[in-house]
Amino acid sequence: MTSPDLPPDLTHGLGVERARPIGGGDTAAAFRLETARGPLFAKTMADPPAGMMAVEVAGLHALREHAPEFLGVPEVVRWTDAGIVLEWVEEAPGPGRGGTEQEFGRGLAALHRAQGEAFGALVPELPGRIGSFDVDLSPTQDWAQFLLDRRIRPLMRDAVGAGRIDPGAADLLEEFAPRARELAGPEEPPTLVHGDLWAGNRLVDAEGRNWLIDPSAYWGHREVDIAMMLLFGGFGEECLAAYDAEHPLAPGWEERVPWYQLPPLLVHAVRFGGGYGDATTRALLRLRG
């Protein structure tokens, strides 16, 4: 028996005996599927934006292709426009992660060595999406302008238009716009980034292996992931130290963190309001030094 919330074409032929709802985020319904071959994970959306599932699947495939063996990425078992079925990852009980912090840092460093030909979409034919947000992901060689004109400025317009942030923040952003190239840091090749690397999108299984889930992957700059990891916490100092030892970050990366945190802060401001608008303004003010 399956849940009425699961589209039949998503689970057909998988031998699902029972579907149990589990926590799955703020926009999707998530389930543990019990099958004769073991458990599976399913995520569905009632009315997903066009191409959202296809983009996530492309991200999972790319991460699985380029991640080192010790950094897990769930296998895609089945997907449709309305949902995804993945292999089940049995999380470790309790909060302790021990030596997995260093291993995650080394694994992310190895993943970030994967390089593309241009900044932008993994599959240019798919709609431009990062999560549920539209974005222009057409290929470009200019990362600094990509970050400013395709991510930060559009999200700022959305946040101001929705009344989620003081309009003065947009003026403050324009104060820094002439420094966009400096704030983006030294030029680096296009890097495969997870794109939404907060602590909830990193799992540790019962054997201590790290896993990446729910990517908004694209060819970007690796400081995108580093800044996101630092925004909401959940990654130990040992993790970043191991990363930097394996794949050193460019000098001054700490000063660039507020610039790279603007997109996720603005996304949260648009979606949730609350204090995220003020947090965005504070990030801009930190750039003044």
SS3 assignment for 178-225? HHHHHHHCCCCCCEEECCCCCHHHEEEECCCCEEECCCCCEEECCHHH
Q: Is 213 inside a domain boundary?
A: yes
DSSP label at residue 150: I
Q: Is 63 inside a domain boundary?
A: yes
- We report the CATH number of the domain holding residue 98 as 3.90.1200.10
Q: Is 37 inside a domain boundary?
A: no
- Measured N-to-C along each axis, helices 253-272 and 153-161 cross at an angle, to the nearest 10 degrees, of 30
Residue written as tokens 């930190």? Answer: 286
Domain that holds residue 60: 51-74+90-286
Number of independent structural domains in the chain: 1
Pairwise CA distance, residues 57 & 40, whole Å? 16
How do strand 83-87 and strand 129-130 relate by DSSP bridges?
unpaired
Q: Cα dist. 91→87, 95, 202, 209, 280 in Å?
A: 13, 10, 10, 9, 33
Q: Is 137 inside a domain boundary?
A: yes
Torsion 226-195-107-90 (CA) sign: positive
Q: Is 43 inside a domain boundary?
A: no
Pairwise CA distance, residues 272 & 143, whole Å? 28
Q: Is 229 inside a domain boundary?
A: yes
pLDDT of residue 282: 97
Catalytic residue check, 166 = no
pLDDT of residue 8: 87
Q: Is 261 inside a domain boundary?
A: yes
Pairwise CA distance, residues 217 & 131, whole Å? 9
Q: What is the full per-residue pLDDT of the chain (289 aa) written as tens digits?
A: 455 578 889 999 999 999 999 976 667 899 999 999 999 999 998 888 889 999 999 999 999 999 999 999 999 999 999 999 999 999 988 665 556 999 999 999 999 999 999 999 999 999 998 888 899 999 999 999 999 999 999 999 999 999 999 999 999 999 999 999 999 999 999 999 999 999 999 999 989 999 999 999 999 999 999 999 999 999 989 999 999 999 999 999 999 999 999 999 999 999 999 899 999 999 999 998 7
pLDDT of residue 93: 81
For the chain, the straight-line distance linking the first and the last C-alpha, in angstroms and rounded, comes to 59
Pairwise CA distance, residues 121 & 58, whole Å? 10
Which position among 158, 196, 214, 225 bears the catalytic label? 196
DSSP label at residue 120: B
Whether the Cβ atoms of residue 206 and residue 91 lie closer than 8 Å to each other:
yes
Q: Is 220 inside a domain boundary?
A: yes
Residue written as tokens 């032929």? Answer: 13
The radius of gyration of the chain from alpha carbons, rounded to an integer in Å, stands at: 19
